[in-house]
Amino acid sequence: MSKLDFTLSAGPVAASPRTLAALGYPIVYHYDPEFLEQFARTSNKVAEFFATKNDIVLMQGEAILGLEGATRSLVRPGMHVLNLVQGVFGKGTGYWLTDFGAVLHEIEVPYNKAVDPAAVEAYLDEHPEIELVTVVASETPSGTVSDMSRIGPICREHGVLTLVDTVSGVGGMEFLTDEWGLDLCVAGAQKCLGGPPGVSLISVSPAAWEAIDRNPNAPTASYLSLTDWREKWLKGGTFPYTPSVSDIHGLEASLDEALEEGVENMVERHRRSALVARAGVRAMGLELWADSDDIASYCVTSVRLPEAVNHVELRSYVRERYGVMLSSGQGAGNIIRIAHMGPTASGLYPIVGLSALGRALLDLGQKVDVGAGIDAALAVLSEQRR
């Protein structure tokens, strides 16, 4: 295996030196007063990151744990749920909803497009039986975003709860939990925050807690239980099980870095990297996957591949030959993704990804103008840094 020089994947992402150092702190007993204080402090920092006054629950497992726990907690058998699908994670939510007994309603668009908030509004107008909308704020495999600033308030006006997968949404796009009235939101540490993979960051509104309390199927005495975390940690200061101590050290360090930078500045940094990447892709003669720039995410740029090139094989080739780890389509399509997420949403990183991708395609006999792509990307970067 060739040496790995750059991780430009769509999560887990390369962590900053500060986060890596924190992951090496001494492992302490979880009831050590210092750890108890750190756990509470870290939750408060997550709340700031989410722009919310809602309760914060930190579940000790990668974001899928938080998403499954949240979905099971909210969904009662026979409950009407509207699921918005514009990619792989949205589609997966629908399978869960059906498994957990919901009556599934779905608005689905091709995975290079985004669900129109007006369609959500029209659907809710026609279906007053719907109690919950499930939505992915940033569909990482598609490299597209949902307009949460409109979808959130539309749901609120209809008295409908929201369950938001914002695993790669917070930090790489504007995400205002309280202002947009979002009820149950789940993020991950290992995406735009650049933290360790292993913690689910969850915000729960009072209305979401009420719905969970009304649900006889909400897990309790279970690793998936949000209720356990409320009863034990939020109300009693004890843990339902031992937290991942080192991950909390790493998470707090990555949050400190984010909050010192300022979440708005962080989003702007991701936006700029996306502009650099998109300019490069286009000038090389390649096509962006996202149908329009308005719905393309800031944290990852998805590139449509020529039919002759398979995305998984290309990813391996780029890694082996050039020491750069990109992401493949993960079920969204024959696409390769250059992530500019967390610490790599900066300066020349996207151009490293462009160089490796462009040259690899050339090696594989495709017609790409690598030089023009690099030149165009550098021109955007240079303008940004003026």
Return residues touching ligand PLP (CB under 6 A): 11, 62-64, 89, 136, 138-140, 165, 167-168, 188, 191
Tokens standing for 48?
Answer: 């700031």
User: What one-character DSSP code corresponds to residue 136?
Assistant: E
Dist. CA 295–CA 165, nearest whole Å: 16
CB of 70 to ligand PLP, least distance (A): 12
CB of 138 to ligand PLP, least distance (A): 6
Dist. CA 212–CA 267, nearest whole Å: 32
- Tokens 């915000």 sit at which residue? 203
Q: Which residue, 172 or 373, has its beta carbon nearer to ligand PLP? A: 172
Dist. CA 340–CA 330, nearest whole Å: 17
Q: Which residue, 165 or 183, has its beta carbon nearer to ligand PLP? A: 165
CB of 62 to ligand PLP, least distance (A): 5
CB of 136 to ligand PLP, least distance (A): 5
CB of 7 to ligand PLP, least distance (A): 14
CB of 123 to ligand PLP, least distance (A): 22
Dist. CA 131–CA 361, nearest whole Å: 48
User: What one-character DSSP code corresponds to residue 295?
Assistant: G
Q: Which residue, 62 or 252, has its beta carbon nearer to ligand PLP? A: 62
Q: Residue 95, Cβ neighbours under 10 Å: how many?
A: 11
Give the CB-nearest residue to ligand PLP: 140
Dist. CA 159–CA 324, nearest whole Å: 47
CB of 125 to ligand PLP, least distance (A): 28
CA distances from 145 to 19, 83, 113, 150, 199 (A): 27, 15, 9, 12, 22
Dist. CA 79–CA 146, nearest whole Å: 24
CB of 213 to ligand PLP, least distance (A): 26
Q: Which residue, 169 or 358, has its beta carbon nearer to ligand PLP? A: 169
Q: What is the DSSP string of 176-207?
A: -TTTTT--EEEEESSSTT---TT-EEEEE-HH
CB of 190 to ligand PLP, least distance (A): 7
Q: Which residue, 52 or 86, has its beta carbon nearer to ligand PLP? A: 86
Dist. CA 257–CA 251, nearest whole Å: 10
User: What one-character DSSP code corresponds to residue 293?
Assistant: G
* Strand positions, DSSP E, the chain: 6-7, 55-59, 80-85, 103-108, 130-136, 138-139, 144-145, 161-165, 184-188, 200-204, 287-288, 300-304, 324-325, 335-339
Q: Which residue, 136 or 380, has its beta carbon nearer to ligand PLP? A: 136
Q: Which residue, 199 or 356, has its beta carbon nearer to ligand PLP? A: 199
Q: Which residue, 136 or 314, has its beta carbon nearer to ligand PLP? A: 136
Q: Which residue, 56 or 185, has its beta carbon nearer to ligand PLP? A: 185
